[in-house]
Amino acid sequence: MAQKPSIPKGTRDFNPEQVAKRNYIFNTIRGAFETFGFQPIETPSFENSDTLMGKYGEEGDRLIFKILNSGDYLVKANEKAYSEKDSNKLTSSISEKALRYDLTVPFARYVVQHQNDIEFPFKRYQIQPVWRADRPQKGRFREFFQCDADVVGSKSLWQEVEFIQLYDSVFSALKLEGVTIKINNRKILSGIAEVIGASDKLIDFTVALDKLDKIGEEKVKEEMRSKGILEEGILKLQPLFTLSGSFESQIESLKGILNTSEEGQKGIEELDFINKAISQLGLSIATLQLDVTLARGLNYYTGAIFEVAAPENVKMGSIGGGGRYDDLTGIFGMKDVSGVGISFGLDRIYLVIEELGLFPETVTKSVEVLFINFGEKEALFSLKAIKQIRTHGINAELYPDAAKMKKQMNHANKRNIPFVVLVGEQEIESNTYTLKNMISGEQDKVSLEALVLKIKKS
């Protein structure tokens, strides 16, 4: 007995309805990208391993899917590593390529490789799949699409302002009310670490602080102590644990906390500039919120840090994020090229829209009219009409076989096709078409022009 086929954990098949809904999101995001002046690029699905490794931290490196070398990959294997079962050393000798982990590092590689052909500032968008050897769970997959937009070659904070507007534009188009755009700044986190005497423990400090909403104040303090952060420093953090209120009031509180840190003051100035600009410009649907516990991407973010939270009534992780990276291309030898970018989490956005019932009914509309097949003569007459109908932007098809009419009608019902057309001897002689509305049951004999108008009006 043949084994039942399956797919790897963390991957999915998509049926026609799901693909149509995903394309609706893709097209909405792509349209906004282009409206805001971003240009499309694409990069290979796999890169040389040394392009990716060491760019995402230890955990990220572990989640990169490695590709075995072609042919007999053990021929060049490190024999000592193989005998000692040292997977790290063995991997580099049997795998020279890896599936891309995100779109940001390949983009940095692209900029460096094509720097002589690029006009800076360069605004690019990219919508392609990425792969991560993560543990699958709700909203987290091993293969998923990222939708990224980045600007490189400009240090202007107006770029951050535009990205906030871009997020707002997309979520407005998707009618996703209640979205919160959270923002922080790496300089503020560095300033806080400096003030409490833990500059050398910035990552430990921020990882603990990032858990404030999940484990509470006392547990965060315990974790900080376990990482060697002194009690005196933790006491200085106390105002941070109770920081709340409007964006403006939090900024004022931070000025007091960070009054001895030049780096921290720079971060405050940047956030204040962004907030004042957004206050003047306004947002249609999203809310901008300062969150000093936000600490994503510290391995490469140097300024603003973004994270987008789904509406509160939906239990879902972040549905977007990004930030400012002042020297990402430096990892490939191209120094002092500032960049800032954001990403949309397509799969999570899909789940949120599905849960809230926000997909328009027209999204899944495929074939609008099916011509019933009564035989060779009728089929040819129908195909001539179908050719004309399609020029009006109507999706139409002929049932391929001259099967029993009941079977063809059932086919239309199962595919939710709203109209069928019956063409027999009488219709051919009078050059008319019998149009049946499959929802109301109404049936009319009409000309081709009237048929087109009826379908378009429905």
Number of neighbouring beta carbons within 10 Å of residue 87: 9
Rounded distance, CA 330 to CA 199, Å? 23
Residue 79's pLDDT band (cuts 50, 70, 90) = confident
Residue 449's pLDDT band (cuts 50, 70, 90) = very high
pLDDT for 139 beyond 70: no
360 three-state secondary structure? coil
446 three-state secondary structure? strand
Query: 388 to each of 76, 334, 385, how far by Cα in Å?
Result: 62, 56, 5
- The answer to whether 93 and 76 are in contact (CB under 8 A) is yes
Residue with more model confidence, 225 or 147: 147
Q: What does the pLDDT average to over 5-13?
A: 94
- The answer to whether 158 and 123 are in contact (CB under 8 A) is no
Query: 422 to each of 66, 325, 379, 408, 418, how far by Cα in Å?
Result: 56, 62, 10, 11, 14
Residue 74's pLDDT band (cuts 50, 70, 90) = confident
Write the pLDDT tens digit of every residue in 85-108.
777 778 888 889 999 999 989 999
Its pTM surpasses 0.85: yes
* The pair of three-digit structure tokens given for residue 393, joined into one six-digit string: 């932007």
25-39, 242-256, 387-401: the lowest-pLDDT one: 242-256
Look-up of token digits 């931070």: 254
pLDDT for 165 beyond 80: yes
Rounded distance, CA 331 to CA 318, Å? 27
Residue with more model confidence, 420 or 74: 420
Residue 85 pLDDT: 79
Residue with more model confidence, 221 or 306: 306
Write the pLDDT tens digit of every residue in 216-271.
888 988 888 888 888 888 888 888 888 889 999 999 999 988 999 999 999 999 99
Write the pLDDT tens digit of every residue in 326-353.
877 888 888 889 999 999 999 889 999 9
Query: 364 to each of 314, 415, 431, how far by Cα in Å?
Result: 23, 11, 32
19-28, 58-67, 195-204, 411-420: the lowest-pLDDT one: 195-204
Residue 453's pLDDT band (cuts 50, 70, 90) = very high
Rounded distance, CA 221 to CA 229, Å? 9
pLDDT for 298 beyond 70: no
Helix (H) or strand (E) holding 305: strand 304-309
Residue 455 pLDDT: 94
- The answer to whether 38 and 125 are in contact (CB under 8 A) is yes
Rounded distance, CA 382 to CA 434, Å? 11
- The answer to whether 192 and 258 are in contact (CB under 8 A) is yes
Residue 431 pLDDT: 97
- Helical ranges in 98-157 per DSSP H: 104-113
Q: What does the pLDDT average to over 375-384?
A: 97
pLDDT for 300 beyond 80: no
Q: What does the pLDDT average to over 196-218?
A: 83
Average pLDDT over the chain, rounded to whole?
A: 92
